[in-house]
Homo-oligomer: A and B are copies of this chain.
Amino acid sequence: MKSPIIALITDFGTEDGYVGAMKGQILKLAPKCVITDISHSIRPYDIRQAAFCLNNSYPYFPDKTIFVAVVDPGVGTTRRGVVIKTSQHIFVGPDNGVFSYIFYNEGFQAYEIDLASLPNHISNTFHGRDVFSRIAALATVDGQLDKHLKTIKEVRNFLTQPAKLAEFELMLEVIHVDHFGNLILNFHRNDLIKFEKTPEIRVEFDDIRLDSVSETFGSVADGELALLWDSSKFLQIAQNKGNASKKLGAGVGKKIRLYL
């Protein structure tokens, strides 16, 4: 029998022991599970970075993997804790948009966590340990999880479509800057499915123009900019062996004009 997998994303860093507390809690309640770190270096409170990180990771995990995402500036307020189930995976965390890409990608059912149904004391500052780790551990045992859930219809979702400027012209936005300084744009390769023939793509911003999509980073000379499909099929602007974000002084929110 395979061990259940619980994968963690937080903005906690590791140096205070908050992640350690979550791991201890999980191992105490679900001693046979395998804990997998996705990231604990999400920028503090950066829900969008966590959402992007989760989106890059979760599709590759085995069926039934349980993901716990804790970037939770609203902990202890009225923001809800939620469980999202898809046909393959279970997601646990605050209802603040951290699961936005999952809603975009696939069908899902959403549940609110009924805090009153949990037998333990719940602190007001650390639901990662007192609620979400416990719920994840319960999700490893058949029939335990649903006792603590109430179906809900609406969930927070921050994803928006690019603005349409003309028939073949969109205003994109940088939605993520990765570790290498690549600028990820809110345009997905699947957005081209509606075209019979894959159109040429061109982007423009400031005085820069990138006329076609390159095959890989090394398709352009060292230090040059390239337009690419990233490994999750979002359009990105990269600098070969460099850091496009630093070179361009551009970050999340930067507007990029796309011509099809």
Contacts and interface: CB of A to CB of B under 8 A. Distances in A.
A163 to B, nearest CB: 25
A14 B28 contact: no
A231 interface: yes
A17 B44 contact: no
Contacts of A25: 60
Contact of A241 (B36, B45, B124): B45
Interface stretch (A51-59, A109-117, A144-152): A51-59
Given A41-B13, A60-B129, A21 B231 contact: yes
A76 B217 contact: yes
Contact of A37 (B5, B14, B32, B61): B14
A126 interface: yes
Contacts of A219: 76
Contacts of A123: 231
Interface in A172-206: 176, 178-180
Contacts of A38: 14, 17, 19-20, 23
Identical chains in the assembly? 3
A91 interface: no
Nearest to A78: B218
A82 B74 CA distance: 41
A74 B218 CA distance: 6
Interface in A218-239: 218-219, 228-231
A73 interface: yes
B14 A41 contact: yes
Contacts of A57: 17, 19-21, 23-24
A86 interface: no
Q: Which of A9, A21, A31, A219 has the most CB of B within 10 A?
A: A21
A212 interface: no
Nearest to A46: B15
Contacts of A39: 14-15, 17, 19-20
Contacts of A37: 14, 37
A18 interface: yes
Name the 9 nearest CB pairs between A and B, nearest first. Answer: A76-B216, A20-B57, A17-B56, A24-B60, A24-B61, A126-B231, A14-B39, A20-B38, A124-B216
Interface of A: 2, 5, 7, 9, 11-25, 27-28, 31-32, 34-45, 49, 52-62, 65, 73-77, 123-126, 129-130, 176, 178-180, 215-219, 228-231, 241, 243
